[in-house]
Structure 1
Amino acid sequence: MTGDYVATGTTRSGHIVGYAARSTNLVRTLQERHDTWPVASAALGRVATMGAIMTVGLKRDDHQVTIQVRGNGPLGNILVVATGRGDVRGMIDEPHVELELNAYGKLNVGTAVGCEGSLYVTKDLGLKEPYRGSVPLVSGEIGEDFTYYYAVSEQTPSAVSVGVLVDRDFSVISAGGILVQALPDVEEEELRALEDAMARLPNVSSLIRDGATPEDLLRMACGSNLQVLDQKPVQFQCTCSKERLGRVLLSLGRDELKKLADEQETTELVCHFCLTKYHFTREEVLSFHDVAKY
């Protein structure tokens, strides 16, 4: 399969399941939409890649998962929403952050996100109440934080590696990730082999840059006895529309709408996820004023 997608596989024993994503186009679009600088591209891209991977667990197109990373670093809040259709969108508070490289010569995502804060995951599966889970941030590097999330919030031993490779001109070269989970009946030997393989796994974004597919990533982690079960396309897609933004205007209430109509000929609203601008004429604003309930 070409383009961005998530591959799902399992070992022949059925004791280990893995999900691997190529998310280059998705992360590239996020970078272009939000004009993110390298460390912001890496942080937002890693969270978006995990959102793409988590779409595999959504059984219906209208099911969705919302991921929020709220650290004490200069990037501020990171928010990603992904649907069962494979559509992913995201935003970041501060796209223009510049930091020195870390001790390994890599983008300092942990410092940019912050190691104090929380990772929140909300799954809307069409039930009366959505599933909500949260954990404290471990490092702000995203991969380690999700490993901890799965262990604590979903009680599933997991290993996560996500990466974004950014060029000198701030463009995204490659992006991807892998999530491998051990199921309850896993044997000690299998688990040890998995841990060793994940520890030896090279940087995921570099592997994808060099032509590795998601299936290749799974084989590197799970071994040659991997069975590929499914492939799911993922892509950037925002759900905004003028109608949706109109509901935001309506929620302002009659007094604020009257003030907007009096002060300006045109009111502009901007979608936080894709930065598309929507314009409402004075007449349109007044029409919302006329139907507002308060």
Structure 2
Amino acid sequence: MKDYTVRAISSDGMIRGFAALTTNLVQELQERHHMYPLASAALGRTATMGALMGCMMKGEKDRVTIQVIGDGPLGHIRVDANSHGDVRGLIDHPEVMLPLNANQKLDVAGGVGKGTIYILKDLGLKEPYRGSSPIISGELGDDFTYYFTASEQIPSSVGLGVLVQNDKIIVAGGYLVQVLPGASEETISSLEKNISKLQSITGVLRDQVTPEELLVKLMGENTVILEKKPVQFHCHCSKEKTEEMLITLGRKELSAIIEEQGQAEVVCHFCNEKYLFTHDELEHLLTKV
């Protein structure tokens, strides 16, 4: 099944919801970064959050950057996403392994550690929106729940999950539901009850529950699905952009590369794509400095 996100509203208009299936996206991230299971789970959850936040955006050029800056052995996590469902991401230390936690699951919290989540939204305004909140658990779903509630002042619930076996992503996805102003206590209570009844996200998705069905489970039978968007890995790097970066090094450093190495290989940290520049190509770049 292809990856996608859905956006929905409850029948009374008091709850909005977003859900995503991101199995293929996380699989590509795993393959590009050669991640061990722990890193796959941590980056996969963050990438799913990126897909969900991209689904929330409406402008053609709207973008969001998520940074999870923890002090755990996984290091920093970064994800970029946009309103078209394009997502890319990276993690400092994809090779980290830790013992399973007390629940015999991957110890994502131990891998992430304590620190801060930073959110930057470029919505086409003069200044991008910047928000942040502390990492309260390291499991990431709880941390993003706290971010939306504390930083954006919107009561929210986030569920994120990645089921991984060795280098195979079995299933990945998640949801975000938010209570809008004016919601009744009955509406809020019903939502909380539905969330509490929900088994793990990976368990639900592994049972082939679709993102649409997941939101209906959470928001009620008369939930209205408003939009469905594809999600895919996409990096914005290119040889042309890499050329521009090399030109900014200046004549002295470019000349040194030509003299000492004869060629240059530049690797994009987001996608591990390699761009090779021959001696002649570097000489040509010198004419543009």
- TM category (shorter chain) comes to over 0.9
CA RMSD of superposed structures (Å): 1.2
Query: Counterpart of 2:99 in 1: which secondary structure?
Result: coil
Instruction: Extract unaligned runs of 5+ from structure 2.
Output: none
Matches within 5 A, 1:1-294: 2-114=1-113, 116-167=114-165, 169-292=166-289
TM-score by length of 2: 0.97
1:254-283 deviation per Cα after TM superposition (whole angstroms, max 9, x unaligned): 221111011112200001111010001123
Query: Counterpart of 1:261 in 2: which secondary structure?
Result: helix
Question: Partners in 2 of 1:60 and 1:228 — Cα distance?
Answer: 20
Contact 2:80 2:88 in 1 (8 A): yes
Contact 1:60 1:85 in 2 (8 A): no
Question: Partners in 1 of 2:237 and 2:186 — Cα distance?
Answer: 49
1:193-246 deviation per Cα after TM superposition (whole angstroms, max 9, x unaligned): 211211221111221122110011111211212111111111111111101111
1:60 CA displacement: 2.7
* Greater shift in the superposed pair: 156-165 or 79-88: 79-88
Question: Partners in 2 of 1:266 and 1:210 — Cα distance?
Answer: 51
1:251 CA displacement: 2.0
Query: Counterpart of 2:283 in 1: which secondary structure?
Result: helix
Letter in 1 for 2:120: T
Question: Partners in 1 of 2:10 and 2:57 — Cα distance?
Answer: 22
* Greater shift in the superposed pair: 37-46 or 202-211: 202-211
Letter in 2 for 1:186: A
1:249 CA displacement: 1.2
Question: Partners in 1 of 2:286 and 2:21 — Cα distance?
Answer: 46
1:69 CA displacement: 0.6
Contact 2:18 2:177 in 1 (8 A): yes
Query: Counterpart of 2:39 in 1: which secondary structure?
Result: helix
Question: Partners in 1 of 2:283 and 2:132 — Cα distance?
Answer: 42
Question: Partners in 1 of 2:138 and 2:279 — Cα distance?
Answer: 45
Contact 2:75 2:92 in 1 (8 A): yes
Structure 1 runs of 4+ aligned residues shifted over 3 Å read none
Letter in 2 for 1:27: V
Contact 2:84 2:229 in 1 (8 A): no
Contact 1:165 1:175 in 2 (8 A): yes
Query: Counterpart of 2:132 in 1: which secondary structure?
Result: strand
Question: Partners in 2 of 1:145 and 1:18 — Cα distance?
Answer: 18
Question: Partners in 1 of 2:58 and 2:175 — Cα distance?
Answer: 20
* Greater shift in the superposed pair: 279-288 or 8-17: 279-288
Question: Partners in 2 of 1:236 and 1:84 — Cα distance?
Answer: 13
Instruction: Extract unaligned runs of 5+ from structure 1.
Output: none
Query: Counterpart of 1:291 in 2: which secondary structure?
Result: coil
1:156-190 deviation per Cα after TM superposition (whole angstroms, max 9, x unaligned): 000000000001x3210000001000001111111
Query: Counterpart of 1:179 in 2: which secondary structure?
Result: strand
Contact 1:118 1:134 in 2 (8 A): yes
Question: Partners in 2 of 1:201 and 1:73 — Cα distance?
Answer: 29
Question: Partners in 1 of 2:248 and 2:150 — Cα distance?
Answer: 38
Letter in 1 for 2:193: D
